[in-house]
Chain A
């Protein structure tokens, strides 16, 4: 039953989102007035190289092939999907002939690390604090948290990142300014290197955690303050259950269900935030890769990262949505 009523529709939705998103990635660049092939050729001639017209023509052919711009629009579209299915996003042009997939693979662990750690920390802390705020509404901690969260929430990712960078890397150089690890550090599984990694990741992670805690805190507070009014919580109070049990098993346990949905809903936004934070800290992840690709006009790489992000974020959302029924018996048994 769950399978038919919940999982299958959710899966169809997933496929549809992927299809539309990836198709948009195909269409949008083709609507732009600039042609990457001409752009590339112009750049070569501008560098003063002399090329005879036949060679230019041949070059144009090759480039079109590599960019997937050969043939009619429909033919291009078919080829585009064909290449996607075998995991081929074409070569990068700034680092020719390294395939785009290869570049993404190198950057991915950095982004994943940043994203997962900050997401976990902020979600868990924000959710707990929200629960505490509602369970002990008059405590000083709760009141301070509330003011902080309200004030932090509207700050954009890059401002937060810049502020931390300026304070803790520039004015007080406690943490490094940029990069994923120190120049010339020996890469390996040893304490020294791990500490170095940690030192570099600290500020980017903090800037995301500090911002996101506020969001999770406020959402949890709103949901939980409604749960507290629910009859089952009042009844638990009337039955003399211990306070801690009421907080965890009655209030938090019920309020956490929308927090999980929130995770799926906000994932895209948070992913975007991670990319921006990386750029500010020159962290060697997908964000920085995308930034340099845009600066260098590396068309294939930009498209590749876009496609990859769409697939990655929607898959993560799908997984979260599939976990959700395990937490809510009302969905599980319907």
Chain B
């Protein structure tokens, strides 16, 4: 059963400069489904629209970001909720933090610098459950922190007094205190050292196991995806180009871009210099015609320059947007 279904979502940033409107087509016709209880990964180079996709899907839309078309439907307890159709900002607020929660990119600075950690916990709990009983609140937070291996003493600290890894753990604790149904994690391990990274991945796994929630994990670090995710989507220039079970992506990738990404990964024992993906990701203001990957694709044909390939089913739960696959089918 799917908990989230995204259909043909288009989210652009519109900025005006000297009377000319520029559109950054950060998310351009994306469709996917996330099943209940799974960990769904989204990978792609920097600037391909991963964070924008998360923002759009969780209804965090404010100028210059706008939704042009598409549908984002959640299924909470068999009730369908179309978050983009919610007219009132207030209704969206009621969902965020409780049903949907977000571990944002740049988690180093997600804690209000002038508020003690405890206040941040109070803010989020109070926003959704109205704290009536202090001791009850303390107990709730304490159990949660203990479960995550965090010490109660951090509650009295200000963010700047804590290390980066600690702040990241606290952000995760905050994002999960209300046991959300679905968690969006945007690069939760970037900017942390490898040891702390592993700890954070462990923590996320553990929460997922305890709270039985669904997790959408965004990172450009394929090793983390391999370690954590059930299914993986590869994004390129605002579109999903391939989606499949993690094993399939790593063992039988179909899209030339996925191949290129995987080639740039180091493997143990191999000392040769890895080929980094040649070329640069395209500007999302002036996107290439046809398949967006064609200027960098070793196998591009005339057709790729003119027509845009659809994301089509090529195997059990395996979707690819490439004419090569269409031909071979």
**A38 within 8 Å of B by Cβ?**
no
> Assuming A249-B115, A253-B114, is B160 touching A243 (CB within 8 A)?
no
Q: Mark B212-242, 1 if CB is under 8 A from A, else 0.
A: 0000000000000000000000000000000
Q: Which of A69-77, A211-219, A326-334 contacts B (4 or more CB under 8 A)?
A: A326-334
* Alpha-carbon gap, A128 to B123, bound state (A): 22
Q: Is the CB of B123 within 8 A of A333?
A: no
Chain B residue with the shortest CB-CB distance to A239: B97
Q: Chain A residues with Cβ under 8 A from B115's Cβ?
A: 249, 253
- A238: B residues at CB distance < 8 A: 58, 60, 96-97, 101-102, 104
CB distance from B191 to the nearest CB of A (A): 12
| Contact pick for A240, options B95, B112, B161, CB 8 Å | B95
**Contact partners of A241 in chain B: CB under 8 A:** 93, 97, 123-124, 127
Partner of B127, one of A231, A232, A245, A333: A245
Which residue on chain A has the smallest CB distance to residue B108? A231
| B13 interface hit (Cβ, 8 Å) | no
B113 touches A240 (CB 8 A): no
* Count, chain B residues at interface, CB 8 A: 34
Complexed CA–CA distance, A235 and B116 (Å) = 16
Q: At the interface, yes or no: A57 with Cβ under 8 Å from chain B?
A: no
Q: How far is the CA of A254 from the CA of B111 in the complex (A)?
A: 12
- Smallest distance from the beta carbon of A275 to chain B beta carbons, Å? 36
Q: Which residue of B lies closest to A250 (CB)?
A: B112
Q: A232-B113, A245-B123, A253-B114 are in contact. Are A237 and B60 (CB under 8 A)?
A: yes
- Give which listed residue, A234, A235, A329, contacts B114 with CB less than 8 A: A329
Residues of B within 8 A of A33 (CB): none
Shortest beta-carbon distance, B230 to chain A, in Å? 24
| Interface footprint category on A | 20 to 34
Residues of A within 8 A of B112 (CB): 232, 236, 249-250, 253-254
B177: nearest residue on chain A (CB-CB)? A239
Cβ of A188 under 8 Å from chain B: no
Indicate whether A230 reaches chain B with its CB closer than 8 angstroms: yes
Q: Tell me which residues across on chain A come within 8 A of B158, comparing CB atoms.
A: 329-330, 333
- Cβ of A242 within 8 Å of any chain B Cβ, yes or no, is yes
Chain A residue contacts of B175, Cβ below 8 A: 239
Q: Given the complex, which residues of B lie within 8 Å of A330, measured CB to CB? A: 113, 158, 160
Q: In the complex the two chains form, what is the Cα distance from A6 to B110 in whole Å?
A: 27
Q: Which residues of B contact A231 (CB under 8 A)?
A: 104-110
Inter-chain pairs besides A240-B94, A245-B123, A253-B112, 9 sampled, C-beta below 8 Å: A230-B109, A231-B109, A232-B113, A234-B110, A239-B97, A241-B124, A250-B112, A253-B114, A329-B160
Would you list 28 pairs from A and B whose C-beta atoms are within 8 A, ordered by A residue? A230-B109, A231-B105, A231-B109, A231-B110, A234-B110, A235-B110, A235-B111, A238-B60, A238-B96, A239-B102, A240-B92, A240-B95, A240-B96, A240-B97, A241-B93, A241-B123, A241-B124, A242-B93, A243-B89, A245-B123, A250-B112, A253-B112, A253-B115, A254-B113, A327-B114, A329-B114, A329-B158, A330-B160
Residues of A within 8 A of B (CB): 230-232, 234-243, 245, 249-250, 253-254, 257, 327-330, 333
The 10 A-B residue pairs with the shortest CB-CB distance in the complex, in nearest-first order: A240-B96, A240-B97, A238-B102, A239-B97, A235-B110, A240-B93, A231-B109, A329-B158, A232-B112, A231-B110
